[in-house]
Structure 1
Amino acid sequence: MGHGGDVIAELTADHRELEALFAQIEAQPVDHPQRRELADRLTAELVRHSVAEELHLYPAVRKHLSHGAVLADKELADHAKIEQMLKDLEGRHADDPQFNDIVAKLKFEVASHVRGEEHELFPKLAASFPPEKLDELGRLVRRAKEKAPTRPHPSLPNTPPANKLLVPGVGLVDRVRDLLSSRTTTD
């Protein structure tokens, strides 16, 4: 969950972790129950990652980058699409015929989003932000992931100030639900 380094290193490490989780899901037999557990971990990591970006990265992008509002809005639209897919996946068993379709579509959307961030957004950040600001954003992102929800909430606001007020409480409720249901959200 928390990898260290500046915001680019932190989020890039998250991307590799997500790719590894998709590979682990795909390595399991089609209807194996382990796929559900891995999908829960994937969901938690994606939600934490997205929330941290929405709380700290995209507001900075919007404020400090040329055409930052357009970039941030595109990223938020990607998140909304991915979060709805996660909501559609939630509660489905590994032997549900829709499970594999949703995972495949989700993998495609996440890969597309990751490419956009790593090839367009991150180079712009590196060129526009001083190293201290990138380090500060990395710390803020790591802290946000610790308190972020672990389940998809498509109706939760994804921009400040509403998300900064609501996310910690929703994250707490999710972690209690995970504990009570024995849902696996980490290694």
Structure 2
Amino acid sequence: MRHGESLALTIEATQRSLDGRLREAVMPHSDPLRPRDNYAATDTFMAATSRHLAAVEAVVLPSVRRTVPDGAALVHDYVHAARQLEHTLALIKGRLYGEAYAVHLAWPTLWDTVRTQLAEHNRIERQMVEELIGYGDPTDVEALPRKVFEAETHGPTRPHPVLPHTGFLGLVARRIWTLADRFWDSAEGRVIPEPVHPAHHRHDSLMAQYLVADPQFDADATILEHRHPRHGRPA
């Protein structure tokens, strides 16, 4: 697997998953025998999105700020997009459960807004991944998919747009609201989807694939794995 490919594939798979959950939430659910299907689909989309946003803020943003030239500006753009998306998710949650501040909002307008905001979030997220692959330390970048996955499994499952998103205060807020969200998820019987697993490692060569009995038949694989010569020794 090429440098950074695991991170790129994992983020791409997560974005596809969120897009699919959004489509399912928007889809009409009119089965009279399953009146809560619409609630479940919308709750699932909100939970998966909220958890992913929090994980990116906890894991990816510090790496971008630390290693990418002008990373602070990119982090600022991401946080702005994430806050907007979370704000709309909070309105959707209020509209779904009949809260007074949101009952007057039209569903088509809410869904159109969240589509636009999710697309913008995905664009900035992909840009961050590209910059990290270009400038980040390969070992650190390869560790990010697993860290994002672990952060998602322990992240808040509801939108919290007004809370701190970065720094120490953001870390404390995520921990506090994760506990609160889990309590209410259990009390309300919400089904929380599992995060997208990191992309599996693909062996670098066809020979390596054969030796470990894990043939992937990667079209880009070489017959033998290419290893860079050690410094101080002839190639």
Q: TM-score, normalised on structure 1?
A: 0.87
Structure having the higher helix fraction is: 1
Rate the CA distance shift 1:117–1:16 in 2: closer, same or farther, 3 A.
Answer: same
Residues 126-161 of structure 1: CA deviation (Å, up to 9, x unaligned): 111233211222222111111111011122210111
Q: Of 160, 174, 188, which aligns to 1:153?
A: 160
User: Which is greater in Rg?
Assistant: 2
Q: Find the aligned partners of 1:104 and 1:183 in 2 and give their Cα distance.
A: 25
Contact 1:80–1:154 (Cα < 8 Å) also in 2: yes
Name the % identity: 24
Q: Aligned ranges for residues 73-112 of structure 1 at < 5 Å?
A: 73-93=76-96, 98-112=106-120
Contact 1:35–1:94 (Cα < 8 Å) also in 2: no
**Amino acid of the structure 2 residue aligned with 1:122:** V
Q: How far does residue 107 in structure 1 lie from its aligned partner after superposition?
A: 1.2
Q: TM-score, normalised on structure 2?
A: 0.70
56-65 or 26-35, which deviates more: 26-35
Q: Of 63, 75, 91, which aligns to 2:66?
A: 63
Q: Kindly report the root-mean-square deviation, in angstroms, between the aligned alpha carbons of the 2 structures.
A: 2.3
**Amino acid of the structure 2 residue aligned with 1:24:** E
Q: How far does residue 33 in structure 1 lie from its aligned partner after superposition?
A: 4.5
Unaligned 5+ residue runs, structure 2?
Answer: 195-235
**Amino acid of the structure 2 residue aligned with 1:13:** A
Q: Find the aligned partners of 1:184 and 1:43 in 2 and give their Cα distance.
A: 11
Contact 2:25–2:45 (Cα < 8 Å) also in 1: no
Unaligned 5+ residue runs, structure 1?
Answer: none
Residues 58-113 of structure 1: CA deviation (Å, up to 9, x unaligned): 11111110110000000000001011101111132399662332122101110122
